[in-house]
Structure 1
Amino acid sequence: MTDLILHDALPAARRRLGEALAAAGRADADAHLLAVSKTKPAAAIRQAWGLGQRDFGENYLQEALDKQAELADLTDIVWHFIGPLQSNKTRAVAEHFAWVHSLDREKIARRLNDQRPATLGPLNVCLQVNISEEASKSGVTLAALPALAEAVLALPALRLRGLMAIPAPAEGLAAQRRPYARLREALEALRERFPEAPLDTLSMGMSNDLEAAILEGATLVRLGTAIFGERSTTANQ
């Protein structure tokens, strides 16, 4: 990724988001880009930061920790962990990230809560929902979602912000919207059930279906390829 490509791609992604919001009748401030920087070098993140991007999503823990160390001078970066989360990774995630989007088990929630340094304040979390009910995908089922939300809300070092999903690929706007509509409805149901909770986040939509996600209420759109170009097939996990 050269400086020139990133200087073109990031503003183009912002314009695309703005156009999608306008088409949905939503305000510009209603949704934000989460730049998915997995497998991309720290230099590319620094370039994006120089263009005003502050929120970055990482899937692979060791790769992310290496980048965080290299970019420690950029103190206003907001790091989001968006990959599968195993028990042996929770301490480092709790200590080095502001957000986790992939929480789907109470055991992991309790570990994050217990390992979150008090000096950092509560860790923002989204519950990952297996919205397309794919056997190969992580995520809590819709049926089990209320119980998990209730458990997370009882943990003082976590702040439950909303839901995340990665639906099965679909062709056409209508087909892409359906799983996102289900996720939106699930969040609305949680808001009714837990009215005191700060449930303000729908982390959904990627480079190939941003418009569908925005139409269904996305507040964080995870864009990688549209900003950084094609990814490497290898990464330091």
Structure 2
Amino acid sequence: MSPGALQDAHRRGRVRPRRAGAADRNQPPADLPPLPSCSCQPPCARPRLQVVEEKMIRNTKDSWGWPALALHWAVALLVIATFALGLWMSEVPARADRPYYFAIHASLGITLLLVLAARIIWALINPPPAAPASTPAWQHAAARLTHLTLYALTFAAAILGWLLAGVAEPPIEPQAFGVVPMPSPVSLSPASEDFLEEAHELAAYALMALVGLHAIAALWHHYILRDNTLRRMLGSGPTASTRSV
């Protein structure tokens, strides 16, 4: 068909425009902007991340969550620091700056009291991991009794020290975390200072003896029994690899 006849056929509607093929239909119009690229993670990865994060916070049957680990080691460090300062402080001869060290010791003690309370509350709402399957029943009972006694002695030493600070001369006002004043909850006679001091020291020495026994038991589990008790408290238990992405 000649060009003139083709144009005439177009005008009369006899020649229809060529339909777009499959390849043409798949091509986007040239005037549309490109679609933005998505760098988000696949939907299937998000539930897994949420599960992993939950395992990192809460205890599982095999491992401790990071809040429990942080509270455990915070209590341990505060116990050691408070006792060490108190032991050194008792050897410092009477001088003008001695009340300053007493105030630091008392503030560490009241901070320890609050952190320990937080740890106990967290343990009540978040059960600890199960002991290794090979642990005998008597070791279960001994471990539970040791933990309860550690809690009791820590509370006793801290509360007795808190009361002792209130009857000291001059009185000492502990500060929780070094910033929040925590005056003595009760007003006692200055005559009770000697009793409180003796009871405070007795509870502190008993606590440190039990802490030493607790540490020896952890090393015994690690080097003699070769189980994962200590590794779990260090955050490297058997499921630690599943808590990282």
Please give the range of the TM-score, normalised by the shorter of the 2 chains.
under 0.3
Of the two, which has the highest radius of gyration?
2
**Normalising to structure 2: TM-score of the pair?**
0.24
Looking at secondary structure, tell me which structure has more strand per residue: 1
The TM-score with structure 1 as length reference comes to 0.24
